[in-house]
């Protein structure tokens, strides 16, 4: 039971209380916040792991094929691609609940961010919305493509990812949407993690400046790694770590 105040409110003040909070509102809002933040956190961490795994192409085709085959033989890749797609859509639905719907509101928010000389965190938020929308389109395409590759025999010899088909796809022109996706994803994820840390009180442990530095370091590291991976996939440079694999992997 919610206890009322002992003194009755004057009628002019009690206006807002004509619409009392429906019980369960707070519980639902907390759940929505946790689900949208939690899905974002999982997706960001997955992205980094994913980047390291795709990074196996840096050791050449054999390393990449071995990595893909291992993940598929142990049935890690198949459920992951489905779970990630569900989380991806869930995050898009939940996180978008904070985006102003009307153009006028968006313009005002942008004006506000610029007028605050400009206010960097506000601008970062606006760019997070923009990159999020790009990721929703290009990321969906990428995940569906890879789901088809992992789960169906549509590409290459039977189900599963192979270096040969991946390279062929990227070289046929997918390097362009992938380059855009890479920049947008890395930006969206690192800024999102930074904001998440601030929201739940990470700024008290590490200072906000430290968190910003950490965000920048992670952003540039994974952006750099992603760029090299993409260049190798596009055939622009040879795999730089090929020397690591000197014998056949069985």
Partner 1 sequence: MSRASPAGRRLTFEIFRFNPQAEQPQPHMQRFEIEETPYMSLFIALNTIRETMDPSLQFDFACRSAICGSCGMMVNGKPSLGCRTLTADLPDLIRLQPLPVFKLIGDLSVDTGVWFREMAASSEAWIHAKQAFNPNAAEERMDDELAATLYESDRCIECGCCVAACGAARFAKDFKGPAGLNRIARFMMDPRDERDDSDWFDVFATEDGVFGCLGLMACHDICPKELPLLEVYAYLRRKALTTARKRD
Options 51, 57, 113, 185; binder of partner 1; rule CB under 8 A: 113
Q: How far is the CB of 119 from partner 1 (least distance, A)?
A: 5
How many residues lie near partner 1 (CB under 8 A)? 45
Residue number with CB closer to partner 1 (50 or 110): 110
Which range touches partner 1 (CB under 8 A), out of 17-25, 52-60, 84-92, 241-249? 17-25
Structure tokens that stand for 103 in this block: 């153009």
Q: Which of 244, 202, 195, 194 is nearest to 218 (CA)?
A: 194
Residue number with CB closer to partner 1 (113 or 161): 113
Residue number with CB closer to partner 1 (12 or 246): 12
Options 15, 74, 209, 246; binder of partner 1; rule CB under 8 A: 15
Instruction: In whole angstroms, give the CA distance from residue 86 to residue 88.
Output: 5
What SS3 class is residue 152? coil
What DSSP assignment string belongs to 75-130? T-HHHHHHHHHHHHHHHHHHHGGGS--SHHHHHHHHHHHHHTS--HHHHHHHHHHH
Instruction: Produce one character per residue of 167-195: b if its CB has 16 or more CB atoms within 10 Å, e if not.
Output: bebbeeebbeebbebbbbbbbbbbbbbbb
33 in contact with partner 1 (CB under 8 A):
yes
119 in contact with partner 1 (CB under 8 A):
yes
Q: How far is the CB of 44 from partner 1 (least distance, A)?
A: 15
27 in contact with partner 1 (CB under 8 A):
yes
Q: Is the Cβ–Cβ distance between 229 and 55 less than 8 Å?
A: yes
Residue number with CB closer to partner 1 (64 or 125): 125
Angle between helices 208-233 and 175-199 (to 10 degrees): 160
Binding mask 66-105 for partner 1 (x = CB under 8 A): --------------------------------x-x----x
5 in contact with partner 1 (CB under 8 A):
yes
Q: Is the Cβ–Cβ distance between 197 and 151 less than 8 Å?
A: no
Options 45, 112, 236, 244; binder of partner 1; rule CB under 8 A: 112
Burial of 88 (0-12, 13-18, 19+ CB in 10 A): middle
Residue number with CB closer to partner 1 (22 or 172): 22
Q: How far is the CB of 135 from partner 1 (least distance, A)?
A: 19
Structure tokens that stand for 30 in this block: 């907390």
Enumerate residues 6+ apart whose C-beta is below 8 A from 204. Answer: none
Footprint on residues 170-209 left by partner 1 (CB under 8 A): 195, 198-204, 208
Residues near partner 1 (CB under 8 A) = 2-3, 5-6, 9, 13-17, 21, 23, 25-27, 29-30, 32-34, 98, 100, 105, 108-109, 111-117, 119, 121-122, 125, 195, 198-204, 208
């Amino acid at each position: 039971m919610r206890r009322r105040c002992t003194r009755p409110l004057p009628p002019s003040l009690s206006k807002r209380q004509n619409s009392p909070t429906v019980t369960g509102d707070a519980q639902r809002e907390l759940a929505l916040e946790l689900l949208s933040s939690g899905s974002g956190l999982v997706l960001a961490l997955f992205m980094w792991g994913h980047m390291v795994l795709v990074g196996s192409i840096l050791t050449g085709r054999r390393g990449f094929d071995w990595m893909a085959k291992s993940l598929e033989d142990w049935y890690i890749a198949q459920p992951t691609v489905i779970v990630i797609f569900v989380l991806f859509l869930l995050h898009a639905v939940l996180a978008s609940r904070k985006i102003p719907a009307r153009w006028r509101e968006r313009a005002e928010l942008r004006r506000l961010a610029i007028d605050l000389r400009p206010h960097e965190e506000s601008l970062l938020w606006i760019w997070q919305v923009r990159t999020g929308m790009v990721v929703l389109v290009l990321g969906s395409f990428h995940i569906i493509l890879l789901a088809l590759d992992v789960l169906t025999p549509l590409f290459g010899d039977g189900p599963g990812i192979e270096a040969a088909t991946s390279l062929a796809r990227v070289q046929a022109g997918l390097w362009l949407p992938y380059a855009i996706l890479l920049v947008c994803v890395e930006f969206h994820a690192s800024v999102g993690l930074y904001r998440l840390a601030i929201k739940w009180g990470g700024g008290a442990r590490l200072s906000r400046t430290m968190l910003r530095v950490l965000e920048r370091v992670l952003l540039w590291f994974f952006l750099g790694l992603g760029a090299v991976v993409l260049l190798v996939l596009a055939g622009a440079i040879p795999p730089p770590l090929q020397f690591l694999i000197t014998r056949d992997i069985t």
